[in-house]
Structure 1
Amino acid sequence: MTELKKLLIVEDDAGLQRQLRWAYEGYEIHTAANREEAITVIRAEEPQVVTLDLGLPPDSDGTTEGFATLETILQLRPDTKVIVASGHGAHESMLRAISLGAWDFYQKPIDIDALGLIVARAFHVHALEAENRRLADRAEAGAVLGGMITGAPEMLKVTRTIERVAGADVSVMLLGASGTGKELLARGLHDASPRKKGAFVAINCAAIPETLLESELFGHEKGAFTGAVKTTEGKIELAQGGTLFLDEIGDVPLPLQVKLLRFLQERVIERIGSRKPIPVDTRVVCATHQDLDAMVAEGRFREDLYYRLAEIVIRIPSLAERPGDAGLLARHFLTKYATAMQTGVRSFAPDALAAIDAWNWPGNVRELENRVKRATIMAEGKIVTAADLDLEDKADPIPINLKAARELADRKAIRHALARAEGNISGTARLLGISRPTLYDLMKAYDLQP
């Protein structure tokens, strides 16, 4: 949808103001006769282009008020294209206005045709700059580590931390609940590291029986045990030159922890049934949802292994701690499964979006994906409802402190609205029932970004 072109004419001469107002076609025209009126229009309408008479009252013999108006406009909306006019000391006024940030100028008496060309060019440049910003923002969003879909500052902070440590050849431990995207982040770390040309080898230590886990990690020689019909390389060996991801490291049994510690210290392994040491150069990234500190205290996890694995520890927030992300991810999964299954489902009903925002998501992203996948199949029409998602409203506890409760509520409401409006400020303001300037003020106060 093309953005409406808004032009503000700041001129104290009523006759000239009318002449300029009717000289333009295809624009939404707003007028102001003084600085106060001009600033009010700037706040309420956010015009892309302004024509400004530098000789505004009360400075009838100078241009002080006009320059003050110019400065205030650019402080409020730095991207506004301000075209200044002056009949007093045009050369000096032009130089000063341009130095303050004016986009162009014209000299009185006004040539309507020439001014019309300047205004049209200003709108064109403003549109190009806005599109460049949108493309840059989209590129930045697309550059989130590992292709992760998120708009939450909590998660963006995690991805930026991983990007910083990716270049350092240290072991990284990812701590977070099941379904928060630990393997996706580990892959992103690998792709951002100098080892990205090597293999990324992942193994879930909780999914393999204890009797087979050693063979899976270290490999075995032919005849080492019953059923070992050929020599097989282990996951550690397969990750040579790349990254080894040990998911659910807390489930590794104590006897195997000793062997894993030796590998981390010596960087050599021995296959089962062999005494030949094999050097392996691989980076180790591990993850768990368990409290390893408590396990160490209880003697269920070796302290020396813990410190070898936890050179860098990164905690991943749950989906409930990332306001707005549930809505973004739900739309992604809906599009993904509706396309794959050709169900014809297109979007979520308002009650479904409200339920997604309100639910605590104990199963995190995995639960969200499963619910959306099931709803995509079960929905009777083209719109997924809360009933299709099998969700019920669940109130979140809020702090006792009234000011903190209000701020928490404001932050969550704004993030949810931003996610639902896909970052569109006008749409977000409509959802919240406030004006765009009010929304901008709130976002600035709470340090929120669209």
Structure 2
Amino acid sequence: MSAMILVVDDDKAHLSMLETMLKGWGYAVEGVEDGADAIERVKEGPFDAVLMDVRMTKVGGIEALGRIKEYNPAIPVVIMTAYSSVDTAVEAMKLGAYDYLTKPLNFDELKIALERSLDHMTLIRENQSLKERISEDASLTSIIGNSDPMRELVGMVKTVASTEATILISGESGTGKELFAKAIHTNSNRKKAPLVTVNCAALTDTLLESELFGHEKGAFTGADKKRDGRFMQADGGSIFLDEVGEIPMPMQAKLLRAIQEREIQRVGSDKVLKVDVRIIAATNRDLLAEVEKGTFREDLYYRLNVVNLWIPSLRERGEDVPLLAAFFLKRFSERNRKPIKGFTPTAMDALVKYDWPGNVRELENAVERAVIMAAGEYVSERDLPPAVTRHFESAGGSNGGQPLVGGKSLQEIETVAIEETLAQTGGNKSETAKLLGISRTTLDNKIRKYGVDVAK
């Protein structure tokens, strides 16, 4: 598709000549005779560049340049004038002009200036596109896990994100339901509009209605001005209803209407307002069981449960614990400015063997505490929360309840210690020697003597 150039010049003959020339160069061209018209056209239509005179009858080129840049900072504007003035050039460049040409125009210079300005615009668009793709990738790469359940779940997110389907995210507390809601929104067609989050469990029935739908001034005590609710704030985007299972029955009927009709009414108003939102809800309850008990509306359940994403608990994807622990270790080490390089083998063993009833949130808190408590370069089992270490000790430590040294030769014990520590440090012999409390030379000698497989 040809680049679209807006030419602005109050000299009709010069304007006509420029339009003919630019069309001959293969551009699509539109011409206007004043800066005011140029401002309006830029607001109405997508132009790739603007070629504009300085001196015009109503609104001059410098004023029009400033207002165009306020509306669209990215669009390149090439200024032309018969009055060669350093002051005018400086002012134009300060306001964001891409280039500055003097009349009578040198057509070779004009062609080069336009080509460069369009290359500049293409680069900006490609950069924006790259940023959007990075943002989308980041939303998914922030979901950490290589286990089969997590790979399957990420695949489902990619599939449903680009649709308009209502999503119900289910799972235990602490599994990361909000993280998945953000990933769905970021990878949707609504990503440029807001994702608005509502914690349904934190509000009473009356406050929840006002929070979701807004209220008129004087609708209740303390309503001193009109306020838009979260549905209106999310218009064009997505609304995330966290802990939707906690919504009281009377409010469920009003939420059902909002979802079904995409219409809301502010508290204290009879006026019906249309909203365009995508619904993403989350719950740690079994909503179907709540329906059977009569505490959750069946019709609302089916409206929410168009696509269900079940987030597995951490104990169901235990192989992801080392990945998550390493991720949190890096985050909290940097935040607390502590040069911690990893976990000792025993500490990692304790993390893997714990069942994490609080899921990822509990693991995150445990690693943060460990980073704060750690005195050396590696987190040991002594730095972990008492609940983790008690569970580990009751399970017999890293040897599954069997004696750690009984019946084994010193060589066997040292071999296991060296192999496990090498694995923990990624094969770094200097770090391994430091953790084991021996010199690098002693470590190399033992590796050769015991035939330790360094590549393990």
* TM-score range normalised by the length of the shorter chain: 0.5 to 0.7
Whole-Å Cα distance in 2 between the matches of residues 326 and 295 of structure 1?
Answer: 32
> Which of residues 269, 272, 275 in structure 2 aligns to 1:274?
269
- Structure 1 match to 2:310: 315
Whole-Å Cα distance in 1 between the matches of residues 285 and 424 of structure 2?
Answer: 36
Larger radius of gyration: 2
- Structure 1 match to 2:146: 151
Aligned residues: 269
Q: 2:269 aligned with 1:299, yes or no?
A: no
Contact kept in structure 2, 1:146 and 1:187, CA below 8 Å: no
CA deviations 1:38-72 (Å, max 9, x no partner) are xxxxxxxxxxxxxxxxxxxxxxxxxxxxxxxxxxx
Contact kept in structure 1, 2:243 and 2:282, CA below 8 Å: yes
Q: 2:418 aligned with 1:389, yes or no?
A: no
User: By how many angstroms is 1:395 displaced?
Assistant: 5.5
- Structure 2 match to 1:191: 186
What secondary structure does 1:369 align onto?
A: helix
Contact kept in structure 1, 2:345 and 2:424, CA below 8 Å: no
User: By how many angstroms is 1:280 displaced?
Assistant: 0.3
CA deviations 1:166-193 (Å, max 9, x no partner) are 1221111011011111100010000111
What secondary structure does 1:202 align onto?
A: strand
Whole-Å Cα distance in 2 between the matches of residues 423 and 346 of structure 1?
Answer: 11
TM-score computed with the length of structure 1 as normaliser: 0.56
CA deviations 1:73-114 (Å, max 9, x no partner) are xxxxxxxxxxxxxxxxxxxxxxxxxxxxxxxxxxxxxxxxxx
Gaps (5+ residues) in structure 1? 1-138, 397-416, 425-432, 440-450
Whole-Å Cα distance in 2 between the matches of residues 254 and 172 of structure 1?
Answer: 21
User: By how many angstroms is 1:304 displaced?
Assistant: 0.2
One-letter amino acid matched to 1:229: D
Q: 2:245 aligned with 1:237, yes or no?
A: no
CA deviations 1:244-283 (Å, max 9, x no partner) are 0001000000000000001111111000011111100000
Whole-Å Cα distance in 2 between the matches of residues 279 and 313 of structure 1?
Answer: 26
Q: How does 1:347-386 map to 2 (within 5 A)?
A: 347-386=342-381
One-letter amino acid matched to 1:163: K
Contact kept in structure 2, 1:187 and 1:200, CA below 8 Å: yes
> Which of residues 170, 176, 182 in structure 1 aligns to 2:177?
182
Gaps (5+ residues) in structure 2? 1-133, 397-419, 428-451
User: By how many angstroms is 1:349 displaced?
Assistant: 1.0
Q: 2:157 aligned with 1:162, yes or no?
A: yes
- Structure 1 match to 2:323: 328
Contact kept in structure 2, 1:146 and 1:189, CA below 8 Å: no
Q: 2:166 aligned with 1:171, yes or no?
A: yes
Whole-Å Cα distance in 2 between the matches of residues 301 and 214 of structure 1?
Answer: 17
What secondary structure does 1:206 align onto?
A: helix
The alpha-carbon distance between structure 1 residues 340 and 382, as it changes in their structure 2 partners (threshold 3 A), is same
The alpha-carbon distance between structure 1 residues 357 and 241, as it changes in their structure 2 partners (threshold 3 A), is same
User: By how many angstroms is 1:211 displaced?
Assistant: 3.1
User: By how many angstroms is 1:337 displaced?
Assistant: 1.0
Whole-Å Cα distance in 2 between the matches of residues 226 and 422 of structure 1?
Answer: 62
Whole-Å Cα distance in 2 between the matches of residues 146 and 282 of structure 1?
Answer: 26
User: By how many angstroms is 1:235 displaced?
Assistant: 0.8
- Aligned-residue identity in percent: 47
User: By how many angstroms is 1:222 displaced?
Assistant: 0.9
What secondary structure does 2:347 align onto?
A: helix
Whole-Å Cα distance in 1 between the matches of residues 176 and 299 of structure 2?
Answer: 27
